[in-house]
Amino acid sequence: MSEESIRNYLASVESRLAADACAPRWEDWSGVPVLVGRRADFRMLWAATNLHLFTVAAAVPEVTVPVIDAFTTQVLAYARKNKGGLPIGMQTGVAAFPVLVSDRIDPAAMAWAEEKQRNQFACFARPVVVDSAQGYAGMYRGKPTVGRIYASHLIEKGARYFHPQG
C-alpha cells in the first residue's frame, strides 16, 4: 500500500482517539511525526486505581523486532514522564499502545507484538504492529497474570482504536 494509505490509517486512528476523549495531537520525536493520545480512567473494580492510557503511533519504513522493542521502551518512558498525578503504583497505573504502521513488516515483529503484554512496575504496554499492505493490526489480546485487572479495558480500547479501515 502507499504512503497515502498509511497516512489515512493514522488519520483514522486520530479520529477514533478524538471520539474516545483522548485529545490526540501530533508531536515531533527527533524529526519523526508521532500521534499521541491519552486518557485516564478510574474504576473501583480496579482496586480504586486510575489508569492513564497513552497511545503513540508513527509510520516507519519497516517494522522489525528491534524497532518495535525500542519504540515500546521509548513510549513507556514517555508515558511515565507525562502521566502527572500520583506516583506510579500509588493508586495509579500507566498503560500504553506503542503503534507502528508500515507496509513492510518482519513476521517476527508481528509475532513479538502478539505474544504478550510488556510489563514494568505498574506500567504496561501492548505494542501494536499495523501491516498497512494486509490491513491487519497485530497486538496481544489476552489476559496476563500481571495487570489482568485492566485486560478487558485494554482489549476493548485496542479493538476500538486499531481495527482495519473500511
Number of domains in the chain: 1
pLDDT at residue 85, as a whole number: 64
Q: Taking Cα atoms as reference points, which of 59, 16, 9, 6 lies closest to residue 37?
A: 16
How confident is the model over 80-115, as pLDDT tens digits? Answer: 888 766 556 556 678 899 999 999 999 999 999 999
Q: What is the 3-state secondary structure (H, E, C) of the chain?
A: CCHHHHHHHHHHHHHHHHHCCCCCEEEEECCEEEEEEEEEEEEHHHCCEEEEEEEEEEECCCECHHHHHHHHHHHHHHHHHHCCCCCCCCCEEEEEEEEEEECCECHHHHHHHHHCCEEECCEEECCEEEECCCCEEECCCCCCCCCHHHHHHHHHHHHHHHCCCC
Q: What is the mean pLDDT of residues 19-29?
A: 96
Q: What is the mean pLDDT of residues 37-61?
A: 82
Report whether pLDDT(64) > 90. Answer: yes
pLDDT for position 48 = 61
Residue 50: what pLDDT? 73
The domain of 78 spans 3-162
Give the residue with greater pLDDT, 151 vs 97: 97
The pLDDT value recorded for residue 40 is: 85
What is the reported pLDDT for 1? 47
Cell of 147: 495487570
pLDDT of residue 154: 87
Q: For residue 10, is pLDDT > 60?
A: yes
Cα(67)–Cα(157) distance, rounded to whole angstroms?
23
Residue for grid cell 482495519? 164
Full-model pTM: 0.89
Instruction: Tell me the C-alpha distance between 62 and 65, whole Å.
Output: 10
| Average pLDDT score over the chain | 87
46: confidence class by pLDDT, cuts 50, 70, 90: low
Average pLDDT over residues 139-162: 83
